[in-house]
Structure 1
Amino acid sequence: MATVELPLFPLSSVLFPGGSLALRIFEPRYLDLVKRCGRNGERFGVCLILAGREVGEPALPAALGTEAMIVDFNQTEDGLLGITVEGRRRFRVIRTRVRDDGLVLGDVAWLPALGSGERLRDEHALLSVLLARILDKAGIEHEGVGKGRLAEAEWVGWRLAEWLPLSQAERQHLLQEDDPHARLQRLVERLPDFQTE
């Protein structure tokens, strides 16, 4: 299996393809990484932390993560560097090693974008309606229920996995699911848990 080296950023949250995360950067190992990425257009991998913490000693990352591309820089209210990253391809971590500065490097294999462009099946059409309502409340424009991205099984699944009140472990499980229709089915099965009395 062909692998590439990718710096890893273990976090207590999951980044999905097409999604975004805002991060505060203050540890020297990550400041150096962000400088390199900004200078050379490099990317890094975001993986859910399985053991350890975001700060301090290197944490144990999940074996499946998402490539992150920096799309914005800012200064946070507390004077730290803030970045916004966007999720790209998923990858599987084959092996890791830790540099002297504590940065985790992974040899990763890219996962194919399975089901990309497949349309929602009829049994999952309700999820397009739900996501449209969520996007409306968040003030995010869209083309309408069952149109454009809201008709794509993979995109609807990724966005709902971000927006619904799921645990990080559940989000990781959805990230690891290769079949977009199986991912949507898992979400359909969870919907009753989100309904108010």
Structure 2
Amino acid sequence: MSEHSMLPLFPLQTVLVPGAVLGLRVFEPRYLDMVGECGRSGAGFGVCLIAEGGEVGVPAVPAEFGTEALIEDFGTDDEGLLTLQVRGARRFRVARTVVRGNGLVEAEVEWRADDPAGARLRPEHALLGTLLERIFDQVGRPDDPGAGFQDAAWVGWRLLELLPMPEERRVQLLALDDPRARLESLLALIG
């Protein structure tokens, strides 16, 4: 049985995946209010790809799947705008949305199961682990090395974060509950 809860959404033109770090600039009152609420409660908010609409102005329609964002750090930029560093946590499916009076989209979300712990990379996916190591050689290793190059879920999330692909495709892979199915799709993408 899936757990449901209400989660404020920050729809963006990008997809956040579990374990990934994302920098945000916050200036619209609805999102400043949301960040204040999250700070007081210690809760996260949801990041979803925008299915229809824009990041600013009229409330956007979110994609069906997203990732909870937990605030790790905050500050202000040169223009005095609030900056956040968030890290992707749990995945969710949007069951329904409501728009608050201030224009903030809030969703009833169904939390997706966590990836099984310790699922090792299978021999047919070894190429993906090697590819990820080569990418890290080029762009640098993340500050949170996670489970490592033999962990199927971790390799899949890092590749989903780093490989160039349409954001809509990233959402499709985010929706997959099986880390090995995610790896199969990534293999097909680079093949």
Fold match by TM threshold 0.5: yes
Among all aligned residue pairs of Structure 1 and Structure 2, give the percentage whose two residues are the same amino acid: 53
- In structure 1, what residue type is equivalent to 2:129? S
**Residue by residue, what CA displacement relative to the aligned partner does 1:1-50 show, whole Å, maximum 9, x if unpaired?**
54211111111110111111111100000011111212221211111110
Which residue pairs with 1:70 in the alignment? 71
- In structure 2, what residue type is equivalent to 1:180? P
Which residue pairs with 1:195 in the alignment? none
Q: Name stretches of at least 5 consecutive residues in structure 1 with no aligned partner.
A: 193-197
Distance 1:29 1:141, change over 3 A: closer
TM-aligned CA deviation for residue 77 of structure 1: 3.2
TM-aligned CA deviation for residue 90 of structure 1: 0.7
Which residue pairs with 2:103 in the alignment? 102
Structure 1 outlier segments of 4+, above 6 Å: none
1:44-193 correspondence to structure 2 within 5 Å: 44-140=45-141, 148-192=147-191
**Residue by residue, what CA displacement relative to the aligned partner does 1:70-119 show, whole Å, maximum 9, x if unpaired?**
00112223331110111111111111100010001111111111333200
- 2:148 is paired with a residue whose SS is helix
Bigger RCO (CA 8 Å, 6+ sep) = 2
Distance 2:189 2:40 in 1: 43
* Deviation larger for 109-118 or 153-162: 109-118
Distance 2:26 2:123 in 1: 43
Q: Name stretches of at least 5 consecutive residues in structure 2 with no aligned partner.
A: none
Please report the RMSD computed on the Cα atoms of aligned residues, expressed in angstroms. 1.8
Matched, 1:38 2:43: no
**Residue by residue, what CA displacement relative to the aligned partner does 1:110-160 show, whole Å, maximum 9, x if unpaired?**
111133320001000011111111112222169x9xx95211111100100
Distance 1:27 1:149 in 2: 38
- TM-score, structure 1 as length reference: 0.90
- 1:140 is paired with a residue whose SS is coil
Which residue pairs with 2:28 in the alignment? 27
Distance 1:83 1:66 in 2: 16
